[in-house]
Amino acid sequence: MTAANSSRRRGLMLVLSSPSGAGKSTLSRMLLGDDADIDLSVSATTRPARSGEIDGKDYYFVSQDRFTDMVDSDELLEYATVFSNRYGTPRKPVEDALEAGKDVLFDIDWQGTQQLSQSQMKGDLVRVFILPPSIGELESRLRTRAKDPEDVVQARMSEAMTEISHWAEYDYVLVNDDLDETYNKLVNILAVERAKTVRQVDLVAFVRALEDEHKAL
């Protein structure tokens, strides 16, 4: 009798953070398009649904009172207020995904990442920060992408520098000077993290079965 191989694993929470314009959204789309074992986290929000948005797919649209209840009952892993609207990550869908061996991708800033790092699920967390190749390149991307007036560009640059100042709080830092190369590094990080012993759910039982197999010889 031989021990059955064990491949079942616990999912992980992959956080991607970066200043606006560094390529985080592009990398997220590439990863979600290529890898069936990772899904984007769906946030709850108090803002009204926009045309074409679907409840439960784009966001969970909730009232202010319901959002407050979710905070008070510890139903959110992290939350924040942005321009008078509240956003947060519901805990149960993430917990269910991780138990099923599914990874969850978080597109959040340093503040949300800090909250996840302080949560009871911090052991499931993998934090990746994306840096631009230079400040000049970042500013050029912002000007080209949005066509915003000068004061808006400068405000976005100020926000970007605040975001960059938190790079050392992350497990991995990637400089996005070549998109394909950065993406390959991100894929490799995910592969290594998935293979870690702590995420192999049946590994202890598998090793014990190997020991029992040896004793029976």
Is the pLDDT confidence value at 174 over 50?
yes
Q: What integer pLDDT is reported at residue 21 of this predicted model?
A: 86
Q: What integer pLDDT is reported at residue 6 of this predicted model?
A: 57
- Beta strand 38-40 with 103-107: parallel, antiparallel or unpaired? parallel
Residues ≥6 apart with Cβ < 8 Å to 205? 6
Domain-embedded: residue 5: no
Domain-embedded: residue 206: yes
User: What percentage of residues in the chain have a pLDDT greater than 90?
Assistant: 75
Domain-embedded: residue 188: yes
Domain-embedded: residue 24: yes
Domain-embedded: residue 83: no
CATH number of the CATH domain containing 126: 3.40.50.300
Is the pLDDT confidence value at 156 over 90?
no
Q: What is the mean pLDDT of residues 82-108?
A: 93
Q: What is the mean pLDDT of residues 164-188?
A: 97
E strand or H helix that includes residue 153: helix 150-164
What is the C-alpha to C-alpha distance for residues 138 and 159, in angstroms, rounded to an integer?
12
Q: In angstroms, what CA-CA distances link 117 with 14, 43, 188, 207?
A: 12, 18, 22, 31
Domain residues for the domain of 160 are: 13-41+101-216
Domain-embedded: residue 54: no
What is the C-alpha to C-alpha distance for residues 191 and 207, in angstroms, rounded to an integer?
22
pLDDT tens digit sequence for 38-53: 999 999 999 999 999 9
Query: Which carries the bigger pLDDT value, residue 101 or residue 82?
Result: 101
Domain-embedded: residue 88: no
21: left (phi over 0), alpha (psi -120 to 50) or beta: left
Q: What integer pLDDT is reported at residue 17 of this predicted model?
A: 95
Is the pLDDT confidence value at 4 over 70?
no
Total structural domains in the chain? 1
Q: What integer pLDDT is reported at residue 30 of this predicted model?
A: 97
Question: Average pLDDT, whole number, for the chain?
Answer: 91
Domain-embedded: residue 6: no
pTM for the whole structure: 0.86
Is the pLDDT confidence value at 3 over 90?
no
Judge whether 163 and 117 are in contact, CB under 8 Å: no
